[in-house]
Amino acid sequence: MIKILLILGMVGLVVFALRGSTSSANLAVRRLAGITFAVVATISILFPDLVTWMANLVNVGRGTDLVLYALVVAFLYVTIGLYQRIHRLEEHLTDLTRELALRSGPRAAPAKDDVPAT
């Protein structure tokens, strides 16, 4: 069962990576995922036997292994999300730099005679 869940998580990761759009719905899903993660973390701290029980449901030996698997998948989602954000920021910075260069106009290179002697 855990193999199926991990494979579904990886498929979701690929879809997330390929989609790459930032919309209000995407932001809402991220916020909901963050809140869900906080609630699940709080419950697992209060009731550690519940994590072991859930691990046994998906054929994982220990609760700590299940937590590790979940954290690896969450880490990959965060990593890809940050990569996409940095890529968008780089593209935006490139566009702004080009616009600034076009607005400032062409600049002539200084002639050799204009260079002050030292």
With respect to residue 78, please indicate whether it lies within any of the assigned structural domains: yes
With respect to residue 40, please indicate whether it lies within any of the assigned structural domains: yes
Does residue 22 carry a pLDDT above 70? no
With respect to residue 54, please indicate whether it lies within any of the assigned structural domains: yes
With respect to residue 62, please indicate whether it lies within any of the assigned structural domains: yes
Confidence of residue 51 (pLDDT cuts 50, 70, 90): very high
Confidence of residue 113 (pLDDT cuts 50, 70, 90): low
Which pLDDT belongs to residue 74?
87
With respect to residue 90, please indicate whether it lies within any of the assigned structural domains: yes
Q: Distance (Å, rounded) from C-alpha 37 to C-alpha 67?
A: 12
Number of domains in the chain: 1
CA 65 to mean position of chain CA atoms:
23
With respect to residue 112, please indicate whether it lies within any of the assigned structural domains: no
Q: What is the pLDDT of residues 78-106, one digit of tens each?
A: 888 889 889 999 999 999 999 999 998 77
Which pLDDT belongs to residue 94?
97
With respect to residue 99, please indicate whether it lies within any of the assigned structural domains: yes
With respect to residue 88, please indicate whether it lies within any of the assigned structural domains: yes
**Counting Cβ atoms within 10 Å, is residue 60 exposed (0-12), middle (13-18) or buried (19+)?**
buried
Domain around 60: 23-103
